[in-house]
Amino acid sequence: MKRRDNDIIALYTFSFLKNLQFFGAVAVPFYLHRIGLSYSRMFILEMAFSAAMMAFEVPTGIVADRWGRKISLCLGSLFLAAGFFMFGFFHAFGVLFVAELVCALGMTLVSGADKALLYETLKQSGAPEESTTVFARYEAAATAGLFISFPLGSLFVGSGIVPYKSALGLVFVFTAAALAISGLVVLRVKETAPAWERKGFMKQGIDGFLYIFRTAQLRIFGINYAVISALTFFMFWFYQSLLARYDVPVAWFGFAGSAFNLSAMLLLRATPAAQRRLGIGKTLFLSSLIPGLLYLAAGLLPGLAIALIAMFGVTNLKLFRAPMLSALMNDRIGDANRATVLSGISMIERVLIAALYPIVGALADLSLPTALLTLGGLTMLSSFALKVGDASLQR
C-alpha cells in the first residue's frame, strides 16, 4: 500500500509540475508584441502544432502501450521542455515553427498516457473503486498548477523587473524548467510492463483508432467531445484579446486565467446534482448550447462585464463537460487499447482545431467580434447536430 501511495503522490506531483504554465495568460501578447505576428500567422504556428499532434497522436499512444506509460511521460516532458526553451530564446518564425513540432511530439507522448498509468496503478493495487477520488485529485493537482502559474507569469511580465518583451520570453523558460523536473519525478513511479499483443507497430495504431468507430456509443461520445471541445477551445486564445480590448493591464491576465480554473473546480462539484436533476444527456446538451450563446453575446454586445461572463461561461462549461464524457468513454474502452484509443479521440479534436485555425485567424484579423460570432454559430449548430440521446447512454 505504501508503494502504491508513493506512486500516486508522484503522479499528483507530475500533474502539478507539468501544468506550471507561466506563459499561459500572456501567450497572445507574446505572439503579437514580442514576435510581431498577426492572428493569421500566430494561428499558422498553432495549426502546425495541431497538425503535428494529429500526425503523432496514434504512434505515440502506441509507444505508451508498447514500452510503458512512464517512459512515454518522461520523454514527453523533456520534449516539451526543449520546445519551450526554444520559444523563450528565439524570435525567428522558422525556429518557432520547429519548436511547435517539438512541443507537439512531447504533448502526444503525455496525452492519454498519464491517466492510463494512474488507472493501472490503482488497478494493480486492487483498489480500482477509488478511481473517481484519485482521478479528481489528479485533476485538482493540474488545476492548482495552472492556478498558481498563470498569475505569477502575468505579474512577472507586467512588473517591470525586466523589459516587457524579455519577460514575455522568460515565462516560457520558467515553464520549460518545471516540465523538465516533472519528467524526472515520473520516473519514480513503479510500473508493471503493460500487456501488448504483437500485431506490428502500425496495425496496433490503426486498430486502436478504428475501435472508436466500431463501437457506436464510443463514436457518439467521442465525436461530441471532440467537436464541442475544439470550438470552445478558442476562448482560451481570445480571452486575452478581450481583456486587452477593454484596457485591462497585462498583469491581471493571469488572475483571469486562474479564476477560470477556480470557478471550473466549483462548477465540477455540481456535476452529480446536475446529472440527477437534468440527466446526463440534457446536461451535456446545455453545456454545449450555452457556450454558443455566450460566444454570440461577446461578439454582439459591448462592455467588460459581458466579455467576462462569456469568457468564464465558455471556458467553465468546456472544463465541466469533459469529465462526464471521459468517464462514459473510459467505461467502453478495453484495457489493452486504453492509451491508444484515448489518443485517437484526441487526434479527432486536433484535426478539427487544425482545420479551424486558419479560418478563425483570418476572421480575427478582420475583427475579433466576427471571429466570436462565427464560433458561436458553429457551437450552437453542433450542440443540436451532435446531441447525445438517452438510448446511447444505455450500457
**Confidence tier at 334 by pLDDT (50, 70, 90):** low
Is residue 189 a contact partner of residue 3, using CB atoms and an 8 Å limit? no
> Of the given ranges (93-102, 113-122, 284-293, 324-333), which has the lowest mean pLDDT?
324-333
Closest CA to 278 of 321, 307, 231: 321
- Alpha-carbon distance 269 to 273, whole Å? 8
Question: SS3 of 306, please?
Answer: helix
For residue 31, give the DSSP letter: I
Cell numbers at residue 121, please? 496503478
Q: Which amino acid is at 242?
A: L
- Tens digit of pLDDT for each residue in 201-259? 445 545 656 777 777 777 788 888 889 999 999 999 999 999 999 999 999 999 998 88
Residue 167, burial from CB neighbour count under 10 angstroms (0-12, 13-18, 19+): buried
Ordered by start, the domain boundaries in the chain are 2-189+200-393
Q: How far apart are CA 45 and CA 169, in angstroms?
A: 17
DSSP code at position 303: S
Q: Are 55 and 88 in contact (CB under 8 A)?
A: no
Contacts of 300 (CB under 8 A, 6+ apart): 369, 373
The span from the CA of 58 to the CA of 344, in Å, is: 6
Query: Domain 2-189+200-393, what fold?
Result: Growth Hormone; Chain: A; (1.20.1250)
Q: Tell me the backbone φ, ψ of residue 91, rounded to 5 degrees.
A: -115, -20
Computed over every residue of the chain, the mean pLDDT equals: 86
Question: Is the pTM for the entire model greater than 0.75?
Answer: yes
Q: Per-residue pLDDT tens for 117-144?
A: 887 777 776 555 566 678 878 888 988 8
The cell for 176 is 520549460
- How confident is the model over 344-367, as pLDDT tens digits? 677 778 788 889 999 999 999 999
Answer with the residue of higher pLDDT: 277 or 205.
277
What tens digit of pLDDT does each residue of 29-61 get?
999 999 999 999 999 999 999 888 878 876 666
CB 199 within 8 A of CB 346: no
pLDDT at 210: 73
Q: Burial-class residue 80 by CB neighbours within 10 Å (0-12, 13-18, 19+).
A: buried
